[in-house]
Amino acid sequence: MPELSEIVEEIQTASEQLAGRRASTRRPRLQGPPSTTALNKAVRAMPMPPPPSYLEFLRLHNGWEYFWSGFSIVGVSGAHTKAAQEDIKVSVDGEVFAQKLAYKADVKDKFARREQADPDFIYLPNHIIFATDFNGQLALFDRRTAGRDGEARVVLWAPDGIVGRHPSFASFLRAALADLRKQLRSRQ
């Protein structure tokens, strides 16, 4: 997917420029490719087959730290992936616990059914959560929207609910690039 590589390259450049202008210590860091073994193990652990575009990203890059607006994309191995996965686990566990308290029941089956009926409801354990901003927001693939091509919509989730949607991983990255360019223009 040459377009994906071009978008990634442009985002990395824009993120580096913005971090430099802000004198930020949180620099974007695009990881190199993971081992085939690590990639295969990670894919098997996912709750659904990953969209082809995300799988292609993971073949090329074992994650991407602080690529946009504090977000990091989870890789398949390494300390940066472990930190992102731990942050995601805190959010998921907190949300599931809150749902159990609110409904005084085991939520897995109940919310799996609710999720099928309500497109604005997300039960986090059912989806591939591929990014975190380490501040409560997550980016995930909405498994309910996977098309014949395997691509799924991206949902930006926060504890208060859905805060954004994108038709695909590539469109999510294009939106991040557009936002980075806007931020760069406003800081000139």
Mean pLDDT by 10 residues, the chain (188 residues): 86 93 84 97 94 97 95 96 96 82 64 82 91 97 95 95 95 96 87
- Summarised one tens digit per residue, pLDDT across range 77-96 is 999 999 999 999 999 988 87
Number of domains in the chain: 1
Rounded (5°) CA angle 29-31-139: 75
Distance set, CA 72 to CA 97, 105, 139, 188 (Å): 25, 33, 10, 25
Q: What is the pLDDT of residue 2?
A: 59
Query: Domain of 55: which CATH number?
Result: 3.40.1580.10
Tokens of 63: 């994650």
Q: Provide the whole-model pTM.
A: 0.91
Q: What is the DSSP string of 32-85?
A: -PPPHHHHHHHHHHSSSPPPHHHHHHHHH-S-EEEEETTEEE--SSSHHHHHHH
Query: Residue 10 belongs to what domain range?
Result: 2-186
Rounded (5°) CA angle 57-46-156: 65
Q: What is the pLDDT of residue 70?
A: 92
Contact 80, 31 (CB under 8 A): yes
The percent of residues in the chain predicted with pLDDT above 90, rounded, is 72
Q: What is the pLDDT of residue 114?
A: 79
Specify which residues 132 forms β-bridges with.
Answer: 72, 138
Q: What is the pLDDT of residue 65?
A: 96
